[in-house]
Amino acid sequence: MSSLIVKPSGTPLIGSARIPGDKSIGHRSLLFSALADGDVVVKGLSPGKDNERTRHAMAALGVEIEDLPTGQICVHGVGLRGLKRAADAIECGNSGTTMRLLAGILAAQPFDSVMVGDSSLSVRPMRRIAAPLRLMGASLSGESGKDEDEIYPPLRIGGLGDKRLQGIRYEQPVASAQVKSAILLAGLFAEGETVVVEPGASRDHTESMLAHMGAPLTVLGNVITLDTRGWDGRLQAAPISVPGDPSSAAFIVAAALVAGVERVGVYDVCMSRRRTGFLDALGELGGRVEQECRSETSGGPVADLVVSYGAADHLQGAVIEGEMVLRALDELPILAIVAARAHGVSDFRDAGELRIKESDRIATTCEMLRNLGVEVEEREDGFSLEGLGGAPFKACEIDSHGDHRIAMSGVIAGLAADGPVRVTDAANVATSFPSFVETLNALGAQIENGE
């Protein structure tokens, strides 16, 4: 699937969809289960390549992971002290989450480790995790690049031998769930208190899972404290249910809003407030999305998302900024597609973190919009665009630049274009949503594999 060809949607979308398990929770379910004291059954793990990277990484470190006949997996936890040195460098592929979170675990081990990634991951910055882990006593080094103060993969992590990390108080300069999680993972092995102070509310899946497994964690506002004094060092082997990925759900919901809909439902979606900024942003843009069948699982609150009213004529430009951006960062490219179908100007601000994703997502989103015939102004921390007011996008070719979210956003735009849209370098969609094309086609889209 090197490219995808999208034909304009001739009829409203209709049907229901189940999406892959939440990628962020999936990574953590594998990491924490591996460190648990016993067997952990995980339900709903995504088959996407990013979660596979974490699974293979833990297997390389001596953790047995068994596929069950039910479609679930069983992680045979080895406890905090049971990991073994990998025979070779640990391959993280395109998964920055695998590399950054696993660094927190490996930083506390007695043995040396090396983590490598693909060409995209190899140019993503790693000083943000190296700095706090070094303060805890870890040894991390990487490759130099255009920024002399930065380091890049491969990451080399020195073994501690018989030493232990020390707890620290770390005030994050930028809210980042990955950095927070790396510190807390290292804190499981450290002496004393490990305290993380967030400047804003990032995803809290790590805190929820630590609490679920009995770790000595407290959360007070934006201050997370992990205190190992008096703790027996055992994570409970509690089962984990991974809900549907809201980032994947956002593409199906957006497709219904921009291409027209009779009724589309997306089942069992994670509804953690720190993951639903895209729903708030869609509301600002005039998109109606109903929540049905709300319930609670070990992975947090879930609900079915239903779109039964969607027309570009009713979408209006909006300002998307501040805390809403933090809760919808991964969804900003597809939100830009929705905004581009609306009437009026939309302004996306406070999104500088997009510059260091799988691609420079500010630059690649703006390039995609221009190719689609949308007027857009790029800024360092975001962009503004002039909506087409319901007019179709221009038929074109979109280069995803190896970024799965740009590729999927381009496909959704193609449903509302005036002719076929080709999205190149589309194999990366399997990173997070392997059944993306099949899911959309089942709702009435017409998407074909290109060359």
C-alpha to C-alpha distances, 424 to 95, 397, 429, 451, nearest whole angstrom: 20, 7, 11, 9
pLDDT tens digits, residue range 318-348? 999 999 998 999 999 999 999 999 999 999 9
Q: How confident is the model at residue 351 (pLDDT cuts 50, 70, 90)?
A: very high
| The predicted structure's pLDDT at residue 1 | 52
| The predicted structure's pLDDT at residue 310 | 64
Catalytic hit among 304, 330, 399, 403:
330
pLDDT tens digits, residue range 386-438? 999 989 999 999 999 999 999 999 999 999 999 999 999 999 898 889 999 99
Residue 134's nearest CA partner among 153, 157, 117, 116 is 157
What domains can be seen in the chain, in order of their start residue?
3-21+243-449 (3.65.10.10), 23-228 (3.65.10.10)
| Range with the poorest average pLDDT among 259-263, 370-374, 407-411 | 259-263
| The predicted structure's pLDDT at residue 311 | 61
| Range with the poorest average pLDDT among 132-146, 204-218, 221-235, 299-313 | 299-313
Q: How confident is the model at residue 296 (pLDDT cuts 50, 70, 90)?
A: confident
| The predicted structure's pLDDT at residue 420 | 97
Mean pLDDT for the stretch of residues 268-297: 92
Assess whether 330 carries a catalytic annotation.
Answer: yes
* Cβ contact 30:58 at 8 Å: yes
Residue 87's nearest CA partner among 127, 47, 114 is 114
Q: How confident is the model at residue 314 (pLDDT cuts 50, 70, 90)?
A: confident
Sort strands 382-386 and 345-348 into parallel, antiparallel or unpaired.
antiparallel
Mean pLDDT for the stretch of residues 85-100: 96
